């Protein structure tokens, strides 16, 4: 585990530090706070182990805990609900308890999948959650385990330089031949982990309480996003074939919200710079992912 420096600034501990968001949060904190960050990956800090969480926080004494660890494979959560609960619900409660006990401010990352997707306008923080998958239910339970003074950041459709996001997955198939079926009836705001990390670091540094929806601006269906990835990467966007979720073969175990665009106006009203449009973010992400 990397150690915090002695510079006297704010010290952060990042859980899930090897995940696609965690790596960007660690990098951003290092850049802005001169290295004072504990980057704790799954092996170093298994959040479902309450004793390990307490021990690591007591040993490292961060001012802020940025909780990025989660079981994010939505279909795996559906197949293994006990594991999903242990990581996303109990794990978050463990982190919240240890942060409170050591006086650290908690920033907890959550998801658009706490909503059922039946809305016809972007969801605000005041809209009642109603998750339709085990992933969404366990993430919501995690939110509810956080104290009122915590920061909760809900976001959507993350992609970054790691292999697990939707954008890298489509990019890997950019120069295949044949059609690429992608669902057209799921809609949200694709979000670049590096842009989100900037916002998270700002909220964390301010130890800002409350729930904030933070995504790149604009919205797209998965079909539109896949077309844009191919267009920017020099592939043929017309290879992307629109299908419905019901046509997925094999069907996915977990239901997804059809519409989970998040209204970011509370974040902007709190004085933070909104994230750029998702198309702008995509160009910057693909430039980093392009083979050199």
Ligand X SMILES: NC(=O)c1ccc[n+]([C@@H]2O[C@H](COP(=O)([O-])OP(=O)(O)OC[C@H]3O[C@@H](n4cnc5c(N)ncnc54)[C@H](OP(=O)(O)O)[C@@H]3O)[C@@H](O)[C@H]2O)c1
Let me know: does 217 contact 264? Beta carbons within 8 Å: yes
Q: Does 46 bind ligand X (CB under 6 A)?
A: yes
Q: Which of 132, 94, 103 is nearest to 115 (CA)?
A: 132
Cα four-point dihedral sign 122, 126, 130, 136: positive
Residue window 138-177: x/- pattern of binding to ligand X, with contact defined by CB under 6 A: -x---------------xxxx---x-x-------------
Residue 163, exposed/middle/buried by CB under 10 A (0-12, 13-18, 19+)?
Answer: exposed
Among 2, 5, 18, 76, binds ligand X (CB under 6 A): 18
Which residue, 53 or 232, is less far from ligand X as judged by CB? Answer: 53
CB of 239 to ligand X, least distance (A): 23
CB of 111 to ligand X, least distance (A): 4
CB of 97 to ligand X, least distance (A): 15
Q: Does 117 bind ligand X (CB under 6 A)?
A: no
Please state the φ and ψ torsions of residue 118, each to the nearest 5 degrees.
-90, 0
- State how far the Cα of 207 lies from the Cα of 124, in Å rounded to an integer: 21
Which span (105-113, 202-210, 236-244, 283-291) binds ligand X, by CB under 6 A? 105-113
Which residue, 15 or 133, is less far from ligand X as judged by CB? Answer: 15
123 is catalytic: no
Let me know: does 108 contact 70? Beta carbons within 8 Å: no
Q: Does 70 bind ligand X (CB under 6 A)?
A: yes
Among 10, 14, 20, 229, binds ligand X (CB under 6 A): 20
- DSSP-assigned letter for residue 44: T
Please state the φ and ψ torsions of residue 235, each to the nearest 5 degrees.
-90, -170
Interacting residues with ligand X (CB under 6 A): 15-16, 18-22, 42, 45-48, 68-72, 87, 91, 109, 111-112, 139, 155-158, 162, 164
């Amino acid at each position: 585990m990397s150690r915090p420096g002695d510079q006297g600034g704010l010290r952060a501990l990042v859980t899930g530090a090897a995940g696609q968001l965690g790596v960007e949060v660690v990098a951003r904190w290092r850049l802005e706070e001169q290295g004072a960050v504990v980057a704790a990956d799954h092996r170093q800090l298994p959040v479902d182990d309450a004793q390990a969480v307490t021990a690591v926080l007591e040993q490292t004494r961060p001012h802020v805990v940025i909780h990025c660890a989660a079981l994010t494979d939505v279909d795996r959560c559906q197949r293994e609900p006990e594991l999903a609960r242990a990581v996303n619900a109990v794990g978050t409660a463990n982190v919240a308890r240890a942060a409170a006990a050591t006086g650290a401010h908690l920033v907890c990352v959550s998801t658009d999948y706490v909503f059922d997707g039946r809305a016809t306008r972007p969801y605000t923080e005041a809209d009642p959650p109603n998750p339709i998958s085990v992933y969404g239910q366990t993430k919501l339970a995690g939110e509810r385990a956080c104290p009122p003074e915590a920061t909760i950041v809900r976001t959507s459709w993350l992609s970054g330089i790691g292999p697990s996001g939707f954008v890298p997955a489509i990019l890997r198939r950019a120069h295949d031949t044949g059609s690429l079926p992608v669902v057209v009836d799921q809609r949200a705001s694709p979000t670049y982990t590096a842009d989100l990390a900037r916002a998270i670091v700002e909220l964390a540094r301010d130890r800002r309480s409350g729930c904030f929806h933070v995504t790149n601006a604009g919205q797209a269906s998965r079909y539109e996003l896949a077309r844009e990835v191919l267009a920017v990467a020099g592939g043929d966007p017309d290879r992307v074939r629109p299908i419905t979720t019901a046509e997925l073969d094999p069907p996915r175990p977990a239901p997804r919200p059809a519409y989970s665009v998040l209204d970011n106006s509370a974040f902007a009203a709190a004085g933070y710079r909104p994230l750029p449009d998702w198309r702008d973010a995509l160009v910057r992400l693909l430039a980093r992912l392009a083979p050199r």
